[in-house]
Amino acid sequence: MLTRETLNEANRYVNTLAQLTIWPTGVGEELSEYVAEVIRVIRQSGLDNSTHAMSTDIEGDYDDVLDLVKRAAFVLYDHGYRTQVSLQLDMRPGFSGQMRHKVELVDEILNER
């Protein structure tokens, strides 16, 4: 049952770290041109993001992240391409800035050794 309390909970900020990969199938061996169009949407979103060789990390509110995943996936789909999406989410209450902090923590541990 939806009450004022559950509605307020549904509208709260939920820090979400996402690892996202979107690619078309059946277009040949080189995918960089297609992936670049997806990355353009991600970078223009305003959400914190970092692109790597095999995926892109995105951090923000849960609803904003999922909205961006949908918009990014439809970049290829709307052009008629069969589109594959791989998504992993880490929702961690009370935290933010995890995209960079997790890497800094590992680097710190490595520097101690």
Give the model's pLDDT for residue 2.
47
Residue range 41-53, pLDDT digits in tens: 999 999 999 999 9
CATH 3.30.2290.10 for domain 13-112, yes or no, is: no
> Could you tell me the residue ranges of all domains in the chain?
13-112
Separation of alpha carbons 84 and 110, rounded Å: 35
**Between the CA atoms of 46, 73, 67 and 15, what dihedral angle is there, to the nearest 10 degrees?**
-70
Cα separations (Å) of 77 from 1, 59, 101? 36, 23, 34
Residue range 8-25, pLDDT digits in tens: 566 789 999 999 999 999
Q: What pTM value is reported for the model?
A: 0.84
Q: Is the pLDDT of residue 4 over 60?
A: no
Separation of alpha carbons 83 and 81, rounded Å: 6
Residue range 86-105, pLDDT digits in tens: 999 999 988 899 989 988 99
Residue 18, beta-bridge partner list: 58, 89
